[in-house]
Structure 1
Amino acid sequence: MLHPVSSVSALLSANSCDKDEASLCGFVHKVTNNANWAQAADVILGPIIQVVVILAIAILVRRWLHKLINRTVNRITNGDPATTAELINRRILRARTLASVLQSVTSALVFGLAALMILQIFWSVAPLLASVSVVGVALGFGAQSLVKDVLAGLFMIVEDQYGVGDVIDVGNDVDGTVEAVGLRVTRIRAVDGTMWIVRNGEILRVGNKSQGWARAVVDVGVAHGVDVSHVEELLRQEGEKMRQDPAFTNALLGDPEVWGVETMTKDGLTIRVVVKTRPLKQWPVARELRRRITTRLEAEGIDQG
């Protein structure tokens, strides 16, 4: 009967490698001149070295892909120098959002592939992949909403439907400032501070209040019997004064327009004033214009109903 140590030694000797073999086993055998040490190094250190090499390559590939994505983003953001500041800022936000999503996708793909390669070192992944494919088909029916959300998110980003910093209305009483755009969900901060997390696949329509230009709408109520023409002239004068105000010159894209009587009720008349503004400037412009008009009408002694 063989001693256990002798059996192990015999096994290692039987599987020992040649000194001239281009492998870790051959290198250790050549350095130590011991076949058992060479075989042990190959069995123990070999997988560890392979894992380290795979992770190192994955990290390098991921870093290279991220640099490539950032370089592409920089080309997008450094476009036509004649473009307005608003469009440049929007382009930068859109590019950064797209870069963040692409970097997340590439990281998941690279490290997912690296994980499969590492598993292959210790076990055969073929049965695992077969099982995953069967389970994947079963889960696919339940993951249809997830796929729908991801596809919708991709189209929203590529088509520039909205981006971080935009003020949007997606229906169902959900509106506010976009704080994050992901592949699956969009985070919207409402005026009252509520954080709405909306699945991209559930967004059927988007009202974007931040693209191109906006319009401040101010409805002024006056009592019956007032001289409408005189009131309209007063509103026009206040609009012109605001247009000349340095604090609001850059926010306005044109002179305020008096559209005239909008509605008539038993309580009085409503006269509408509008002005074209830069994106996201419609609200402060409307508040200031409303304040100026109220002060002027009070000074003129006009009943505002």
Structure 2
Amino acid sequence: MLDTAMPLDSAKCWDDADNNICRLVHDWTDNATLAELSDVLLAKPFAILVLVLGGFAARWLVSRLIDRITRTAAAGTVPGARAAEALTPVLHERREQRARSMGSLLKNITTIVIFTIVTFMVIATLGYNIGPLLASAGILGVALGFGAQSLVKDFISGIFMILEDQYGVGDVVDLGDATGTVEAVSMRVTRLRDVNGTVWYVRNGEILRVGNQSQNWARTVLDVPVGYEVDLGRVREVLHEVAHALWQDPAWNGAILEEPEVWGVERWTPEGVVVRVVLKTAPMKQWEVAREMRELIKDRFDALDIEIPYAHAAAYGAPPQQAPERTDKETADADEDRPAGRKA
């Protein structure tokens, strides 16, 4: 039989122990051309198909694992959150949203990693040397790492902020440079609006501390000034009665989580004595409770004639200067010097 195979500079496909199709065709036909065509038309496409299907299967398995972890995280509780969850139904929904966000992020990362690996394996299957590609990818990764350090830092910080649930949309937070209500949280920046309506964009990598005033529960702290002559025991009783009545008010059911406490004298001031009362409230309710408490305390103090001291301003100065009395001689001399027709 005439061998019509073209001479090949590279190794023969039938010499590859892993290429069973090429070797099998060559053994059957003893034709190098058919063996090479079977390698190009059957063996390599089949290998590529197996790699692609394997990539999809790996992605499906990893996605199932991530979904299971996500459901477990969504059903879990954070310390101190169980009691608040019964009074704040949005807590469970917020935890689910955070879990779904992290699950989506992990799925995207795993998809990129898996199919990047599959792509390199397909290139290697086609007979190309992937060594230079890996080296180029490494150099490119190092260059991007140095050139986009701040971007990577923002991205990683955003991941941990979402994972740790440091804050979410609707929370009132203090980020150091800006304080306000969170309107959006992305992997790179956090957008919040302050009380004046100004929108602030804060890079996640630049956030060194987070003060969240809306997480799990909050506290209303009121410092009530009274005069030094007022009976402090009576003041404590009145403050406790007012706070307890507000706690029992059905209109405020769910806003105040626990029975209020009167902590007592907080400090002395030149105007009077400051007594502190505190109320544990649901998130975002501390300011409403504080305003209502101030109004109720003012009305009750007025009814009981309990004085609320305030700073008094007084002007001090030298008494007005009075003109010295003149003697009779000085008066007569002044009359003589005055023009005619004018009298003193």
- TM class by shorter chain equals 0.5 to 0.7
Instruction: Give the alignment partner of residue 62 of structure 1, picking from 41, 56, 59.
Output: 59
Aligned-partner residue type, residue 182 of structure 2:
T
2:175, 2:288 → 1: CA distance? 23
Instruction: Give the alignment partner of residue 21 of structure 2, picking from 13, 17, 23.
Output: 23
1:64 is displaced (CA, Å) by 1.5
1:16, 1:100 → 2: CA distance? 43
* Helix, strand or coil at the partner of 1:23: helix
Let me know the Cα RMSD of the aligned residues.
Answer: 4.9
User: CA 1:121/1:295 → structure 2, altered by over 3 Å: closer, same or farther?
Assistant: farther
1:53, 1:121 → 2: CA distance? 11
Where does 1:1-20 land on structure 2 (aligned, <5 Å)? none
User: CA 1:135/1:73 → structure 2, altered by over 3 Å: closer, same or farther?
Assistant: closer
User: CA 1:53/1:78 → structure 2, altered by over 3 Å: closer, same or farther?
Assistant: same
- Greater helix content: 1
Residue 168 in structure 1 maps to residue 173 in structure 2: yes
Does structure 2 retain, via aligned residues, the 8 Å contact 1:169–1:176? no
Where does 1:123-162 land on structure 2 (aligned, <5 Å)? 123-153=128-158, 155-156=160-161, 160=164, 162=166
Deviations 1:249-285 (A, max 9, x none): 333233334555768578x997654311233332333
Deviations 1:82-127 (A, max 9, x none): 9435397365455444433322322221122223223334543211
* Helix, strand or coil at the partner of 1:131: helix
Aligned-partner residue type, residue 279 of structure 1:
P
User: CA 1:298/1:100 → structure 2, altered by over 3 Å: closer, same or farther?
Assistant: farther
2:65, 2:198 → 1: CA distance? 37
Unaligned runs of 5+ in 2: 311-344
Q: Based on CA coordinates, which of the two structures has the bigger radius of gyration?
A: 2
1:288 is displaced (CA, Å) by 3.5
Aligned residue in 1 for 2:193 = 190
Aligned residue in 2 for 1:280 = 284
Does structure 2 retain, via aligned residues, the 8 Å contact 1:218–1:272? yes
1:91, 1:215 → 2: CA distance? 22
Scaled by the length of structure 2, what TM-score is found? Answer: 0.61
1:238 is displaced (CA, Å) by 2.7
Aligned-partner residue type, residue 54 of structure 2:
I
Where does 1:30-49 land on structure 2 (aligned, <5 Å)? 43=40
* Helix, strand or coil at the partner of 1:55: helix
2:268, 2:191 → 1: CA distance? 34
Instruction: Give the alignment partner of residue 117 of structure 1, picking from 111, 117, 121.
Output: 121
Report the more deviating stretch, 185-194 or 67-76: 185-194
1:101, 1:51 → 2: CA distance? 28
| Residues matched between the structures, number | 289
Aligned residue in 2 for 1:84 = 83
* Helix, strand or coil at the partner of 1:84: helix
1:213, 1:112 → 2: CA distance? 45
2:261, 2:83 → 1: CA distance? 24
